[in-house]
């Protein structure tokens, strides 16, 4: 079901800040990974819960654990192809159906040179393990799961991203180039220089997302779109040039370096950029239309925004949950009350706002929101 206007009051929330916490939502299920210091009275230091949101009464502690591990420290989860990938302290890979362990470093590491705090990626029956999270260019070890050994090495100088998709992994190289590498083919499908876009912004890193054989790259004041079949640049948008953006920068006294968006969210070929600092904004772009600029919204505060199917963009503005009409940028929902969250997950009739320090709240909607401004052909 497409997103609708949620309830003003949260259907559930928890603000304990006692444990590390990461969450994602698929349909009406919410997967919550907890981790904390070694406190025997609270059971295993790290545990996973799978919660049916439609029947959830808001009592997190009463929900059974699907998986437990004797691991302390910050951890995060990311869904993959029928698996859950756990990065952070002592990475693991779990099957999504039965939550059995496919790969785990809870008891031992296959390579003693790996840092305990690292990341894993699962694809095609193989586990890809980064050396650690702070050294970006040490390459990637490939693990044979059946034999439980490091079978080969991938000499790639890129950092891990939660937005990797299937066989396609990507990131910036030490040279400053942007690389997309295909694990199935064992070769790069895109390797391009971003130097000319970074000339006035030498410290800006690229943010990327892949959808339908297109890679969207946010680099400083530009949004770039590359075709992964032809390896060609098919769209180039300087979003600073639009009058609304210029007016916003002037009103907020933002210099160009500070005004660059810090978040990228893509859905069906359209993009929302957002800025989480002072002078924050949400900027909606449709790069394949004749006029890519759609709308810009700001209340002068930090903004987070997430694009998804339907007529709504969910977000946070100055810590207040909010939703915009996708076609106009009009605010059509907010809670009026701030929340201590920074992440947004959207499922079937649910939007969940969360934070690493176990702050979470969920809002339910009953029917889809259909914009009066939706074009007739849609």
pLDDT digits (tens, 9 = 90+) for 55-96: 999 999 999 999 999 999 899 999 998 999 999 999 999 999
Residue scoring higher pLDDT (204 or 16): 204
Radius of gyration over every alpha carbon of the chain, rounded to an integer in angstroms = 21
- The answer to whether 289 and 329 are in contact (CB under 8 A) is no
pLDDT at 39 over 70: no
Q: Is 270 left (phi over 0), alpha (psi -120 to 50) or beta?
A: beta
pLDDT at 34 over 60: yes
Encode pLDDT of 155-208 as tens digits.
999 989 999 999 999 999 988 899 999 999 999 999 999 999 999 999 899 999
Identify the CA nearest to 297 among candidates 335, 349, 266, 332: 332
Average pLDDT over residues 316-324: 95
Average pLDDT over residues 276-299: 96
């Amino acid at each position: 079901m497409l997103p609708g206007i949620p309830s003003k009051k949260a259907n559930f929330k928890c603000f304990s800040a006692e444990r590390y916490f990461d969450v994602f939502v698929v349909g009406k299920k919410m997967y919550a990974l907890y981790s904390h210091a070694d406190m025997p009275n609270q059971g295993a230091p790290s545990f996973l819960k799978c919660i049916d949101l439609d029947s959830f009464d808001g009592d997190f502690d009463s929900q059974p654990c699907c998986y437990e591990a004797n691991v302390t420290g910050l951890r995060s989860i990311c869904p993959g192809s029928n698996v859950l990938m756990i990065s952070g302290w002592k990475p693991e890979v779990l099957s999504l159906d039965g939550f059995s362990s496919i790969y785990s470093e809870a008891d031992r590491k296959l390579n003693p040179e790996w840092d305990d705090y690292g990341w894993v990626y699962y694809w095609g029956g193989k586990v890809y393990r980064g050396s650690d999270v702070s050294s970006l260019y040490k390459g990637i070890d490939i693990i044979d799961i059946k034999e439980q050994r490091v079978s080969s090495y991938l000499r790639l100088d890129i950092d891990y991203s939660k937005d990797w998709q299937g066989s396609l992994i990507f990131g910036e190289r030490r040279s400053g180039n942007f690389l997309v590498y295909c694990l199935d083919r064992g070769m790069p499908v895109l390797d391009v220089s971003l130097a000319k876009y970074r000339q006035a912004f030498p410290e800006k890193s690229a943010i990327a997302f892949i959808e339908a054989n297109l890679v969207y790259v946010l680099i400083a004041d530009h949004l770039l779109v590359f075709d992964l079949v032809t390896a060609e640049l098919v769209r180039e948008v300087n979003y600073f040039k639009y009058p609304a953006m210029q007016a916003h920068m002037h009103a907020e006294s933002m210099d160009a370096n500070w005004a660059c968006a810090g978040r990228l969210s893509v859905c069906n070929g359209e993009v929302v950029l957002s800025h989480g600092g002072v002078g924050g904004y949400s900027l909606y772009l449709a790069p394949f239309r004749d006029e890519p600029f759609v709308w810009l919204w700001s209340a002068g505060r930090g903004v987070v925004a997430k694009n998804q199917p339907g007529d709504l963009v969910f977000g946070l503005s100055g810590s207040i949950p909010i939703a915009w009409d996708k076609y106009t940028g009009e605010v059509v929902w907010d809670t009026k009350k701030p929340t201590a969250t920074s992440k947004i997950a959207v499922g079937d009739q649910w939007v969940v706002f969360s934070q690493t320090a176990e702050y979470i709240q969920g809002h339910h909607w009953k029917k889809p929101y259909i914009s009066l401004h939706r074009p007739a052909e849609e």
